[in-house]
Structure 1
C-alpha cells in the first residue's frame, strides 16, 4: 500500500508540474487580459484614445459653404487628410468629421473650437482580450483543454500535500475560503 501511495504522489507531482508549465503562458494571458477586461470603464482594451482640444484661428465659412476642400484644409495640420471618410452637421454650428480607423474631429464653425480624437488600436491587449469572447471553434477546443488542465492541476495540487498543511489541515481551510469568496459575491453582491 505504501508503494502505491508513493507512486500516486510521484505521478501527481509530475502531472501537476508538467501541466503547470504547459498552461502557464495561457494563464498569464488570461490573467493580464482579465485585469483589463475588469476595468473596461477606465481602460479600453481595443483602443487608446488621444484627445486634443484647440481653437482654429482662421474664420470658417457658413455651413452651406463648407465642402470637402475646406474639410481637407482642417485635417492637414493633423496629418489626417488621407484618412477622411465623411462629414456631417449634427447641429447647425457643429461639424463632425469621420476618419478611417474611428478617429474624428468635431469643429464648432462659429467659435472655431475643435476637438480631435485619435484612436490607436491596442494590438496585443486587444487580441488577448478577444480570447475571452471565444473567437472560433479551434479556440473553443483549446480553451476546453485549458479548463480541464486547470481542474487536473487543482486536484493534483490539493492531493500532493499531506499532513497538517494538506487538504485535511490548513490547505483545506484555504480551499474552502477560495470557494466561498466567489460564491458570496455571486449570491450577495
Structure 2
C-alpha cells in the first residue's frame, strides 16, 4: 500500500507542476482582468476617459448664439482634435456639443465662454484581456474548458501531494474546508 501512495504522490507532483506552469499565464491574465472587472465602478476596463474644463480666450465667440463648422474647428485646434471632427449640434440654446472620432466630445457654453472636453481613448491590453471573460468564440470555449479541467487537476493533485499534519488530514484539510465555506457563505448568507 505504501508503494502505491508514494507512486500516486510522485505522479501528483509531476502533474501538478507541469499543469501549473502550463496554465500560469492564463491564470495571471484571468486574475488581473478579473480584478479590473470587479472594480468597474472606479476603472473602465475598455477606455481611458479624461475630462477637462476651460475658459475660451477673451473675445472668441462673444455674443454668438450659433457657430459655424469653421469656428468649431478653431476651438478644436488647441486640443489637437480638428482632424477628428464629425458633427455638432445644439442640445439647448447657447450650448454646442461637438462629436469627435473615437468617442471624444466637446461641450461649449456660448454665453459663459466655457467648454468641457472629454477625451476617450481605448485601453488596449486590459480591454482585450477582459474580453476573455465573455467567451469570444468557439475555439476559446475549448481552451477555457481545458483550463477549467486543468485547474481541477491542479487542485486535486495539490490536495493529495502532501501527507501528515500539512496534508488533507491536517492543516491542509482545514484550509480546504475554509476555502469551500467562504464562497458558500457569500452565496447563501449575503
Please give the alpha-carbon distance, in whole angstroms, between the structure 2 residues aligned to 1:91 and 1:185. 48
Which deviations, in whole Å up to 9, do the C-alpha atoms of 1:140-159 show, x marking residues without a partner? 11111111100000000001
Distance 1:100 1:74 in 2: 16
Partner of 2:40: 40
Gaps of 5+ in 1: none
Q: Residues of 2 paired with 1:102 and 1:15: CA distance? A: 48
**Deviation by residue 1:104-149 (Cα, 9 ceiling, x = unmatched):** 1111011111111111211011111111111111111111111110
Deviation at 1:86, TM superposition (A): 1.3
What residue number does 1:82 align with? 83
| In structure 1, distance between residues paired with 2:169 and 2:185 | 23
What is the deviation of 1:2?
Answer: 2.1
SS in structure 2 at match of 1:90: strand
CA distance in 1, matches of 2:93, 2:74: 20
- Structure-2 residue corresponding to 1:49: 49
Trace 1:109-188 onto structure 2 (pairs within 5 A). 109-188=110-189
The residue aligned with 2:101 is 100
Q: How does 1:17-32 map to 2 (within 5 A)?
A: 17-32=17-32
Partner Cα separation in structure 1 for residue 101 and residue 89 of structure 2: 15
Task: Provide the aligned length of Structure 1 versus Structure 2.
Answer: 188
C-alpha distance in structure 1 between counterparts of 2:141 and 2:90, whole Å: 45
Please give the per-residue CA displacement for 1:13-53, whole angstroms capped at 9, x wherever unaligned. 00000000000000011111111111100000111112111
- Name the Cα RMSD after superposition: 1.2
Q: Give the Å deviation of 1:67.
A: 2.1
Give, in whole Å, the separation in 1 of the partners of 2:188 and 2:87: 49
Deviations 1:50-102 (A, max 9, x none): 21110112342634x42211111111111101111111111112111111111
Residue segments in structure 2 that go unaligned for 5+ positions in a row: none
Q: Equivalent residue of 1:96, what SS? A: strand
Q: Distance in 1 between matches of 2:119 and 2:12?
A: 52
